[in-house]
Amino acid sequence: MSFISEIQKFKSLSIVGLEKNTGKTVCLNYILERLPSTGYSVAVTSIGIDGESKDQVTGTQKPEIVLKEGTIFSTSEVFYARRRLLSELLEITPERSSLGRIVTARVLRRGKVLLSGPSSAQALKRWVKGVEKFSPNLTIVDGALSRLSSASPVVSESLILTTGAAYSVDMATLVRRTKFIVELVGLDKAEEEICSAFDDKESGVWGLDVDGKLIDFHLESSLTIDSSKEDITGKSKAVYVAGALTDRFLKMISDCPRVKEITLVVRDFTKIFVTEEAYRSFLKRGGCIKVLQKSRLIAVCVNPVSPRGIVLDSDLLCEKMYEAVKVPVYDIVKNRETI
């Protein structure tokens, strides 16, 4: 099964870079170019700004986004005015970014564009729903680790992570740090009883006892837990954090005498804001984290070149990364003709 064929199984895709300069735009261009041109349409946007020719931080050259005929794209008014392609205007929405309203158009003649679309998970969710009227076969959201909400299952069904020497020039560290993110993406979905109990809870911290009764812990979020607070879990078999899961809350659950009997639940992996150290400690104590909504990770794409010019061994990096993450790993630049 080829890389592109696997993508075509889904209606939506997020591409998330674990650091700047990990090859996210190269990956996006590769996918856009190789998806079918006849009888298949794609809608694409970005949660940040993508397609700049030069990195504003490092000053290094960056690949620009190239869109072919028929592609639907959404960007800000400012960047739409600067497009270098011929397009048909489809819609201007009330949704706004810092660069103006969001414009949606269809490419009539191949060219380049800067993408800057909706800036939150809920806005992206509305965008995905909104572009359905144009009947795309696939919607693609270009994201970033700092805006991981773009990879939420609320937004897209499938996910590609890009990583590389910009994330760490030490191969062992790079593999370990990427593996941690992949582990979070791969967390199991909670049992149906737990999902049903917590699905409509948009805020707060909740419990489910052994009799299936809901418990309100009267906490606005995991951030409001007092570090000195005694065990709040009582007889809960599951504890749900509707918002962000933090180190402090994770430690509180870790220190519970019944930690092995409790399933800690979050909406999806993008809600987890814990260090690897705290996560490993929690697992070592017998803790378990599950999600209400699960993501499907299609692949990890690697860029062995750092902005400082350090180049890792691509074949060895792909080998070590695959051993760690157990999903397909690609260096698109080196192997673009074989995947």
Are 304 and 160 members of one domain?
Answer: yes
Are 107 and 153 members of one domain?
Answer: yes
> What string of pLDDT tens digits covers the 339 residues of the chain?
478 999 999 999 999 999 888 999 999 999 999 999 889 999 999 987 765 555 545 555 678 899 999 999 999 999 999 999 999 999 998 887 778 899 999 999 999 999 998 888 888 889 999 999 999 999 999 986 566 666 788 789 999 999 999 999 999 999 999 999 999 999 999 999 999 999 999 999 999 999 999 999 888 877 777 654 566 788 899 999 999 999 999 999 999 999 999 999 999 999 999 999 999 999 999 999 999 999 899 999 999 999 988 999 999 999 999 999 999 999 999 877 666
Are 144 and 200 members of one domain?
Answer: no
- pLDDT given at position 228: 46
Asked if residues 65 and 112 have their Cβ atoms less than 8 Å apart, the reply is: yes
Total number of domains constituting the chain: 2
Are 166 and 312 members of one domain?
Answer: yes
Are 163 and 228 members of one domain?
Answer: no
Burial of 218 (0-12, 13-18, 19+ CB in 10 A): exposed
Say if strands 245-246 and 214-216 run parallel, antiparallel, or are unpaired: unpaired
Are 166 and 223 members of one domain?
Answer: no
Are 9 and 127 members of one domain?
Answer: yes
Are 79 and 179 members of one domain?
Answer: yes
- pLDDT given at position 278: 96
What's the CATH code of the domain at 150? 3.40.50
Asked if residues 74 and 117 have their Cβ atoms less than 8 Å apart, the reply is: yes
Of 291, 308, 325, the domain-final residue? 291
- pLDDT given at position 194: 97
Are 134 and 262 members of one domain?
Answer: no
Are 202 and 172 members of one domain?
Answer: no
Helix or strand run (H / E) with residue 106: strand 100-113
- pLDDT given at position 1: 47
Q: How many Å apart are CA 211 and CA 213, to the nearest integer?
A: 6
Side chain identity, residue 27? C
Q: How many Å apart are CA 44 and CA 85, to the nearest integer?
A: 15
- Which residue, among 142, 144, 182, has the nearest Cα to 166 in the 3D structure? 144
Are 157 and 224 members of one domain?
Answer: no
Helix or strand run (H / E) with residue 17: strand 12-17
Are 12 and 159 members of one domain?
Answer: yes
- pLDDT given at position 148: 65
Q: Give the residue numbers spanning the domain of 69.
A: 3-186+295-335
What's the CATH code of the domain at 269? 3.40.140
Q: How many Å apart are CA 222 and CA 120, to the nearest integer?
A: 21
Q: Which residues contact 174 (CB under 8 A, 6 or more apart)?
A: 163, 164, 165, 167, 168, 312, 317
